[in-house]
Amino acid sequence: MGKEQELLEAARTGNVVLVEKLLSGKRGILGTASGSIPLPNLLSMWRGLNVNCADSSGYTPLHHASLNGHRDVVLKLLQFEASTNVADSKGCIPLHLAAWRGDVDIVRILVHHGPSHCRVNQQNHERETALHCAAQYGHSEVVSILLQELTDPTMRNSRDETPLDLAALYGRLQVRMDLSNVSSFYRVFPN
């Protein structure tokens, strides 16, 4: 297993110690039993491990950690400058996955602690934002956080649905009430 695969797996399983070890370069760089390091391995160590490497579905370590609720791994990856705005093969950024899961802590971390500003209105290939994901699954606390971050509740997905439409469709009463109040504000004071 290559180092990038190791990093992806460590992030998926929540192994923060291995994530830190891999990203900080503690890989036995003193040499092999013969006392020399092959040139390709030496160059790889010099360049360092790509914190934004991706698997076949486009998931980066940050996607895996966000989806699986590994808060400490998310923080560690961000410390090593993982990008919050890399999209997977479906156009989802880690914020989409954390919102879909309803993980309030990770949503907050992604929005406030990344090396780059997290794009809260980023749409995936279905044109859904993280707010659509949270609304559909009834994660009212995540909806509140995203609304505080100026996420646009009037954005429509590829089926022409707003987050409010999804909350209504799936019977998410609390989310529907929260979004109704904000959506009426947007109608009175459009962007």
- pLDDT higher than 50, residue 73: yes
Tokens standing for residue 116: 């780059």
Burial of 123 per CB tally in 10 Å (0-12, 13-18, 19+): buried
The reply to whether 120-191 shares the fold of 1-90 is yes
pTM for this predicted structure: 0.83
What are the sequence ranges of the domains in the chain? 1-90, 120-191
Most confident by average pLDDT, 106-110, 145-149, 176-180: 106-110
* CATH number, span 120-191: 1.25.40.20
Confidence of residue 45 (pLDDT cuts 50, 70, 90): very low
Identify whether the C-beta of residue 163 lies closer than 8 Å to the C-beta of residue 131: yes
CA distance 17 to 190: 47
Domain 1-90, second-level architecture? Alpha Horseshoe (1.25)
CA distance 149 to 108: 10
Percentage of the chain modeled with pLDDT above 90: 69
- pLDDT higher than 60, residue 42: no
In this prediction, residue 46 carries a pLDDT of 45
Return the SS3 of 97: helix
85-140: pLDDT as tens digits: 999 999 999 999 999 999 999 999 999 987 778 899 999 999 999 999 999 999 99
Amino acid at the residue 118 = C
Closest to 145 measured CA to CA, from 154, 134, 156: 134
In this prediction, residue 118 carries a pLDDT of 85
In this prediction, residue 28 carries a pLDDT of 43
Lowest mean pLDDT among 64-68, 77-81, 137-141, 169-173: 169-173
Confidence of residue 1 (pLDDT cuts 50, 70, 90): low
In this prediction, residue 33 carries a pLDDT of 44
In this prediction, residue 60 carries a pLDDT of 98
